[in-house]
A and B are shown apart, each in its own frame.
Chain A
Amino acid sequence: MDNLSIQELLLDSEFVLVALKEEDDPEWINYLQRHPANMDILVEARFILRASEKFPIKTLSPDRKQAIWEAIDSSIENERSHSDSFRGPFFSRIGFKWVAALIVFTIGLAIWNYQSPTAKLESNTIVTEVNNGNFVYSVSLPDGSSTLLKPGSHISYDSLTFGKNGSREVFLEGEAFFEVVTDSLHPFYVFTQGLTAKVLGTSFTVKAYATEKKIEVAVETGKVAVSPMTTAQKLSSSDFKVLYPHEKAVMNLENSELSLEKIDQPSLNETRIEEYIIDDLYVTEVLSKLEKDYEIKISYSKELLKDCKITAVFTEENLHKKLSLICKGIGASYSVIEGVIVIESTGCNS
């Protein structure tokens, strides 16, 4: 019982603050006097706390961390060759063998992609998209759904089983806006570290940064069900809370509480995407609106497109659908290069 109390004390920020003071500090003395019954536990806890000052202060640098990982990875890629040379002490392997390890690593990757039928059952068809840039990064999923990954985010899914085993599953860390194609036979799950969102077909935002203490899911259209469960096991419908448009769920990771809030007024930088009724408007205006609404960057020649006009109505189409319809309308084409949308056209001079 002693030990449990000491651990609780070590997690108590008030205790830690006073315990780090000197023995004759009035605040520390005062604290002791306020808890006379627990004095010896307090003293012990303080000692444990101070003992941590004697812990090693060595930290692993990001470079070394990466280097060790590369050695692990190259060794794994090489495991079929039964080579002993990679199992010896790491430090003795640096030098020319370091180069060899890098080369094997790259070759290993190429072999990895072959998927020969007699290969060991290492299902690595996981696709991971990472956004390390400064703009929103567009990712299309195998079912036609699309995601806009915010900077510093990444998303993973298994390209082999996505949509095939009765569900569509992605793992998200960071923030993304999803536009999910309706498919009631294959519910769409977004797994994050503290919460799972399940959708049938809708558009919504999930915010789940590793460094933050809460996770948010905000619904744009359709409906989303959220649950604090995070496993990829079968989730029963009773575990979920349903969210409707303009509602937001906030999961507090510290106490594991899930709360629902209404989003009354969309904030300026979270423009909602309503129905698009485009009646003979300039394409450049429409593209500007898309850029603003989706917070993305579209690259195109203002000069070439300045005379282009378009009439269209968009209700449930996601970003990519909207873009391809616009392009069809003006005889242009678009592609996504490193997350930026590029429109190519020869102009609209009839």
Chain B
Amino acid sequence: MELKSAKSDYEFALWARFKSGDKQAFSEIYTTYADLLYNYGFHISSRVDLIEDAIQDLFIVLWQSKENLSNTTSIKYYLFRSFRRNIVKLLKKEELLVTHQDVSLLANAQHTLSAEMQIIEDEYEETQTRELNRALSSLTPRQLEAIRLHYYEGFELDRVASIMDMNEQSVRNILHRAFHKLRQIMLFLLLLHLFLQK
């Protein structure tokens, strides 16, 4: 708890300094978040140029409107939300946005198994890893994005919803669907294994 508040105190001060026109603080915000945003962008689109433009536009507008921004302790949330909107805007402009199934790098997600997985001993193992991999590969870009935002970036569900521009219940549904099927498979396989072990 304390660590979080120390960090958010720092962020609060950083944001305040930036808002008052401190270019150094602004530069620090960029340095801290640019890599993260860049990588996150590929959950939305695979177009490197659009992602770079979206980052650029984000920071330019951020600077230009700094006086109108509220005080915030979550720069990260603000940046993620605005950044995603920028990408969507750019995609729409180029008519690349397909609403039900966004084109993204993840559509071509790698199916290569890790080195250990490639050592296949018997059919039972083969079945397991195939099932796991199949379940993982069947994850849609939206599901992966929701998993990333909630479990890895640590955003609460309401904020995930706000970033992804949908309501909270939709986000819950996405996450449930994501591991519903696999849960069944994995539990089944686990029980089967335990049963066979005896």
Pair from one complex: yes
Chain A residues within 8 Å of B, Cβ to Cβ:
3, 6-7, 10, 22-24, 29, 32, 39-40, 43-44, 46-48, 50-56, 58-60, 64-65, 68-69, 71-72, 75-76, 79, 87, 89-91, 121-124, 126, 128, 156, 191, 193-194, 228-233, 253-256
Contacts A10-B151, A76-B63, A90-B52 given; indicate if A122 touches B21 (C-beta within 8 A).
yes
Interface centre among A6, A47, A48, A254 (most CB of B within 10 A): A47
Contacts A23-B190, A47-B183, A124-B21 given; indicate if A253 touches B3 (C-beta within 8 A).
yes
Give A213 to B105 CA distance when docked, in angstroms: 35
- Contacts between chains A and B (CB distance < 8 A), count: 169
Give A43 to B181 CA distance when docked, in angstroms: 12
Q: How far is the CB of B164 from chain A (nearest CB, A)?
A: 16
The residue that A56 contacts in the complex, of B39, B116, B125, with Cβ under 8 A, is: B39
20 additional A-B residue pairs with CB within 8 Å, beyond A23-B190, A47-B135, A59-B39 = A10-B152, A22-B116, A22-B129, A24-B124, A47-B136, A51-B136, A53-B114, A55-B148, A58-B38, A60-B38, A69-B30, A71-B56, A76-B64, A87-B57, A91-B49, A123-B21, A126-B24, A231-B9, A253-B3, A256-B3
The residue that B6 contacts in the complex, of A29, A89, A228, with Cβ under 8 A, is: A228
27 sampled A-B residue pairs with Cβ under 8 A? A43-B187, A47-B135, A47-B186, A53-B114, A54-B110, A54-B136, A54-B144, A55-B148, A56-B39, A58-B39, A58-B48, A65-B34, A68-B56, A69-B34, A72-B56, A72-B63, A87-B60, A90-B49, A90-B52, A156-B24, A191-B13, A230-B10, A231-B12, A232-B16, A232-B17, A253-B3, A255-B3
Contacts A7-B151, A22-B116, A256-B6 given; indicate if A54 touches B139 (C-beta within 8 A).
yes
Task: Tell me whether B190 and A65 are in contact (CB under 8 A).
Answer: no
B interface, over-half SS: helix
Q: Which residues of A contact B116 (CB under 8 A)?
A: 22
Q: Which residues of B contact A58 (CB under 8 A)?
A: 38-39, 42, 48, 105
Q: How far is the CB of A105 from chain B (nearest CB, A)?
A: 13
The residue that B24 contacts in the complex, of A22, A44, A54, A128, with Cβ under 8 A, is: A128
Is B2 in contact with chain A by the CB < 8 A criterion?
A: yes
Contacts A43-B183, A156-B24 given; indicate if A50 touches B136 (C-beta within 8 A).
yes
**Chain B interface size range:** 35 or more
Contacts A48-B147, A72-B59 given; indicate if A126 touches B139 (C-beta within 8 A).
no
The residue that B35 contacts in the complex, of A60, A87, A124, A253, with Cβ under 8 A, is: A60
Q: How far is the CB of A60 from chain B (nearest CB, A)?
A: 4
Give A123 to B57 CA distance when docked, in angstroms: 23
- Name A49's closest neighbour in chain B (CB-CB): B151
Give A79 to B13 CA distance when docked, in angstroms: 26
- Name A32's closest neighbour in chain B (CB-CB): B190
> Considering the complex of A and B, which 6 residue pairs feature the smallest CB-CB distances, nearest first?
A56-B42, A256-B2, A122-B21, A60-B38, A91-B49, A256-B3
Give A214 to B157 CA distance when docked, in angstroms: 32
Q: How far is the CB of B30 from chain A (nearest CB, A)?
A: 6
Is B53 in contact with chain A by the CB < 8 A criterion?
A: yes
Is B23 in contact with chain A by the CB < 8 A criterion?
A: yes
Q: Which residues of B contact A87 (CB under 8 A)?
A: 57, 60
Is B22 in contact with chain A by the CB < 8 A criterion?
A: yes
Contacts A253-B3, A256-B6 given; indicate if A24 touches B193 (C-beta within 8 A).
yes
Give A10 to B153 CA distance when docked, in angstroms: 12
